[in-house]
Amino acid sequence: MSANRSSYEAVMARRGEIMRRSAGIDYAEFERPGGIAFDYEGLASSPPYDLEDVRRIQRAHNVGDTPLWELTRLSELVRRASPAGYGARIFIKDEAANASGSFKARRASLCLAQAADGGFEGVIAATSGNYGAAVASQAAIYGLKALILQEVFDSHGRGQPEVLEKTRACEAYGAEVWQLTVGPELFYIQLRLLEETGYFNASLYTPYATLGIETLGDEIAAECQRRFGRAPAAAVITHSGGGNVTGTARGLRRAGAEGTAVIGASVDLTGLHMASDAQFNRKSFTTGHTGFGIPFSVDPDRVDVPRNAARGLRYLDRYVTVTQGEVFYATQLLANLEGLERGPAGNTSLGAAMVLAREYREDEIVVVQETEYTGAGKHPTAQLTLARQMGIEVMPGTRADDLPGQRIAIPRSVEEMGVTDVDLSALRRSYLRRIAVRVGHRALEDFEVQYLSDDLHVARDQVEHEWGRLVASQGVVVTASGGAGG
């Protein structure tokens, strides 16, 4: 491969071409004129499977039909901290029961099914770990090779214990793991390897991956209806790249749970930059945090595929953050009160649910949408040990004491826990600003207004109002015919 053809810019420009060969998706078919809109529903429904096909594939490969547990003791503790008559029943969907131990087995199951059907020799995935373990596990079942790319080390050779634990899991399933240092090259290397190996792209961001999660939302809605005669009041979903929210919300809707509030939850890592070598190991969570949740919300197509099927803002009714200390506290309570030791990502949404449940009445249901397995590297002890080695103070305290990268404050009681609402309107404005920079401050076509209305989960007039403000800020006059003049 020539130097020019192998440059970062050249490889990223060939994403569409690479995806046509490595995943069987021609993204150009879904593009609309103007560079803003694409046929999202067309892309989302492009995999050759209906939901019953997905269930069949997953059941045959040790995925899905996971238990929905009521956390009775934890719910009672939360109720004591709630106003009279409030404190919803908290349930968890125990995705640790899947092969590989997380909900990401659902995503991987469909990607591997497609790879096997397409006659591919192997698959490649770029991931911090849980998805890599899921891909490796499913590849083992199918008898395919798996190559997993992970961001692991800073320039001092330090690796997050949680990521190293996931490396161990990937290798246990027989995968080849490439461990990378922190930087922008993860997707670039993935695309180059896809060209060189001819493997299937088991990307987190294809419609196969999001469709695989739809069964999760469908199972939650169906079981709540069967057992309790109603849908959950809220599903609290750990929010990172957007696939978890997207797939679960689509599954809930498909099952008729239109009234269930879709609430995203992330660990607040404000001030830490995920691509910074100096700051990468000053966090105690490798996923489910604002370093992914915010950027992927405002710029969902910043991935290895031309258009991301995982689009959080399309489905979020509310988005909240919790502190690192609150997640550690929720993790310990889950183990001590319910006898369930689970990993950190699902406990992010559990920490949020313990606060949000106070807003709902005692007879209502709040579902923590997933758990994940735990292991030596994922355990709070390992993560807090690294934090101390990095000079981060670990102390009892309130959420006001928590300072990402400097101090982890662990609550002393449920009453000290809280959530911070993320301003979804601000995220939507940021999303629109990025589009305006990319395509220019011009008038929108009617189909573009509709696309943005859907993608931002707001009314058309809100899109038109915000876009009008952006155009006016550049001194552009839009004429009646839709043209613009300066």
- Euclidean distance between CA atoms 247 and 290, whole angstroms: 19
- Residue in the block written with tokens 């696939």: 243
pTM attached to this predicted model: 0.94
Distance set, CA 399 to CA 304, 324, 452, 463 (Å): 36, 9, 36, 35
Boundaries of domain holding 313: 1-421
pLDDT of 275 reads 67
Same domain, 437 and 333: no
Query: What phi and psi values does residue 261 have, to the nearest 5 degrees?
Result: -70, 130
Same domain, 366 and 473: no
pLDDT in tens, 268-313: 999 887 767 778 788 888 889 999 999 999 999 988 889 999 999 9
Mean pLDDT taken over the chain: 93
**CATH code at 32?**
3.40.50.1100
What letter would DSSP give residue 338? Answer: H
Same domain, 458 and 409: no
Residues 233, 87 contacting (CB under 8 angstroms)? no
User: Which residues fall within 8 angstroms of residue 75, CB to CB, at 6 or more apart?
Assistant: 87, 88, 89, 90, 357
Same domain, 274 and 342: yes
Name the domain boundary from 421, 447, 466.
421
pLDDT of 3 reads 63
User: Which residues fall within 8 angstroms of residue 99, CB to CB, at 6 or more apart?
Assistant: 61, 62, 63, 105, 134, 137, 138, 141
DSSP letters along 380-445, please?
A: HHHHHHHHHHTT-EEEE--GGG-BTTTEEEE-SSGGG---EE--HHHHHHHHHHHHHHHH-S-PPP
Using DSSP, state whether 474 is helix, strand or coil: coil
Number of domains in the chain: 2
Same domain, 230 and 315: yes
**CATH code at 458?**
1.10.10
- Percentages helix, strand, coil for the chain, rounded to the nearest 5? 50, 15, 35
Same domain, 400 and 472: no
Same domain, 234 and 172: yes
Same domain, 80 and 219: yes
Name the domain boundary from 405, 421, 437.
421
Name the domain boundary from 395, 421, 447.
421
Query: What phi and psi values does residue 445 have, to the nearest 5 degrees?
Result: -75, 160
- Residue in the block written with tokens 């180059």: 192
Same domain, 370 and 431: no
pLDDT in tens, 80-126: 999 999 999 999 999 999 999 999 999 999 999 999 999 999 999 98
> Helices in 148-242 by DSSP H: which ranges?
161-172, 186-197, 207-228
Query: What phi and psi values does residue 323 have, to the nearest 5 degrees?
Result: -90, 165
Q: Taking 70 as the threshold, does the pLDDT of residue 156 lie above it?
A: yes
Lowest mean pLDDT among 28-42, 309-323, 376-390: 376-390
Same domain, 141 and 226: yes
pLDDT of 482 reads 37
pLDDT in tens, 451-465: 999 999 999 999 999
Same domain, 333 and 431: no
pLDDT of 333 reads 97
Same domain, 210 and 245: yes
Local confidence band at 373 (pLDDT 50, 70, 90 cut-offs)? very high
